[in-house]
C-alpha cells in the first residue's frame, strides 16, 4: 500500500508558502501600473514580497504608521520582501504613480 505524505500535499495545495517561523509569505505584483491583488488580509508577523513585473520603475511605500516602509526605486524584475509585525490597516501606494493603490489588512 502506498502512503501519501499528507503534509506535503497540504503545502502543495496552499496558496502561500509557509516558513519555518510560521510566518506566511504572500506575493503582490505590480503590472500595468496596478497592484495585484488590490486587497490582502494577512496576520501580524507575515511577510509580503513586492514584485515589479512592469517595464518601468516603481516606488512602493506604506502610508500607515502601523507598518511603515519605503522600498525606494524598485527596478523592473526586482522583488523586495517586507515583514508586517503589527496589526492594523496598511495603505500601500507608489510614489511615482498616484493611481497605484492597495490595502493590506494585518490581523
Residues at the site binding Cu ion, with contacts judged by CB under 5 A = 58, 94, 96-97, 100
CA distances from 45 to 14, 82, 84, 105 (A): 18, 10, 5, 12
Give me the DSSP letters along 80-103: EEEE--S-EEEEEEESS-TT-EEE
Q: Judged by CB, which is closer to Cu ion: 23, or 94?
A: 94
Residue 84 CB, nearest distance to Cu ion (Å)?
Answer: 20
Q: Judged by CB, which is closer to Cu ion: 48, or 58?
A: 58
12 CB burial (10 A radius; 0-12, 13-18, 19+): exposed
Residue 43 CB, nearest distance to Cu ion (Å)?
Answer: 27
Q: Judged by CB, which is closer to Cu ion: 23, or 92?
A: 92
Residue 94 CB, nearest distance to Cu ion (Å)?
Answer: 3
Amino acid at each position: 500500500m502506498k502512503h501519501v505524505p499528507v503534509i506535503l500535499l497540504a503545502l502543495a495545495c496552499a496558496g502561500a508558502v509557509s516558513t519555518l517561523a510560521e510566518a506566511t509569505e504572500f506575493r503582490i505584483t505590480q503590472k500595468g501600473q496596478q497592484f495585484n491583488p488590490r486587497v490582502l488580509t494577512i496576520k501580524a508577523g507575515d511577510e509580503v514580497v513586492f514584485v515589479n513585473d512592469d517595464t518601468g520603475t516603481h516606488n512602493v511605500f506604506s502610508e500607515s504608521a502601523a507598518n511603515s516602509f519605503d522600498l525606494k526605486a524598485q527596478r523592473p524584475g526586482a522583488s523586495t520582501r517586507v515583514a508586517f509585525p503589527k496589526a492594523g490597516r496598511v495603505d500601500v501606494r507608489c510614489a511615482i504613480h498616484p493611481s497605484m493603490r492597495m490595502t493590506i489588512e494585518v490581523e
